[in-house]
């Protein structure tokens, strides 16, 4: 038996409804539009999909309230609509975490590493930002702009200094604004984006 789009749509819609009740902390019945209003205060994902969810609530009402028999549905959603609501259901139910999306090991440098070593990494990997540690303690983020600033202030006339600087030296030429943020690998990518 082929599953109708309307059945797939209603299944996904009902799962979203239950998930949003959890997000909003709704104990009793709450109309779906009010549920959206409550859940979007707590969830970036609900805010992101708010317009879709409101449109799907209207479609759901048309399907459910104007059905005259099991075989007749006033509105049979397009496959694209069904796939979209199923995607929203998936994202709300199991949002991707930062740790799942970005499993790369971050290349770090020590304050004692030479600029020469860093430049080799730039040439090979095309990196533009370099986390710098002193042992286990994070000291800052060196950027290609910081390296350029060091070059500009260190030139004596047209000559570059003979001593090769360390990452510690370069850190002093970074802007004093905080250009990084540590986040948990267990937050969703949407929460991470909202912190930027």
Same domain? 87 vs 140:
no
Phi, psi of 156 (to 5 degrees): -105, 95
Same domain, 118 and 89: no
At 86 the pLDDT is 96
For the residues 92-115, what does the mean pLDDT come to? 85
Q: Write out the residue range of the structural domain in which residue 175 sits.
A: 101-195
**CA dist., res. 70 & res. 107, Å (int):** 59
How many independent structural domains does the chain possess?
Answer: 2
Q: For 28, which DSSP code? A: S
My answer on whether 112 and 82 are in the same domain is no
What pLDDT is attached to residue 39?
Answer: 93
Structure tokens at 65: 């309230």
Q: Which of 62, 95, 128 is the last residue of a domain?
A: 95
Indicate the residue among 66, 95, 124 that finishes a domain: 95
Task: Give the pLDDT score at 194.
Answer: 67
Measuring CA to CA, which residue among 72, 79, 68 is closest to residue 12?
Answer: 79
Would you state the structure tokens that stand for residue 150, as one six-digit string?
């060091």
> In whole angstroms, what is the distance from residue 23 CA to residue 66 CA?
29
CATH number for the domain spanning 161: value is: 3.10.580.10
Q: Do 27 and 68 fall within a single domain?
A: yes
Does residue 85 contact residue 56 with C-beta atoms inside 8 Å?
A: yes
Q: Are 174 and 140 in contact (CB under 8 A)?
A: yes
Is the domain of 167 the same as that of 112? yes
What are the pLDDT digits (tens) for 148-188?
A: 888 888 877 677 777 888 999 999 888 876 777 888 888 77
């Amino acid at each position: 038996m082929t599953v109708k789009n309307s059945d797939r749509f209603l299944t996904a819609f009902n799962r979203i409804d239950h998930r949003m009740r959890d997000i909003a902390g709704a104990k009793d019945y709450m109309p779906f539009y009010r549920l959206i209003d409550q859940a979007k205060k707590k969830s970036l994902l609900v805010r992101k999909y708010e317009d879709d969810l409101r449109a799907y609530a209207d479609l759901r009402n048309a399907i459910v309230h104007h059905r005259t028999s099991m075989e007749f549905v006033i509105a049979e959603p397009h496959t694209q609509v069904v796939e979209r609501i199923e995607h929203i259901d998936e994202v709300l139910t199991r949002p991707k975490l930062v740790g799942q999306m970005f499993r790369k090991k971050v290349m770090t440098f020590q304050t004692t590493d030479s600029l020469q070593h860093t430049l080799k990494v730039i040439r090979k990997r095309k990196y533009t930002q370099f986390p710098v540690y002193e042992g286990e303690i994070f000291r800052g983020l060196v950027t290609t702009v910081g390296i350029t600033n060091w070059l500009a202030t260190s030139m004596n006339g047209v000559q570059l200094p003979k001593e090769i600087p360390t990452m510690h030296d370069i850190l002093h030429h970074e802007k004093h604004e905080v250009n990084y943020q540590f986040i948990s690998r267990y937050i969703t990518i949407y929460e991470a984006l909202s912190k930027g």
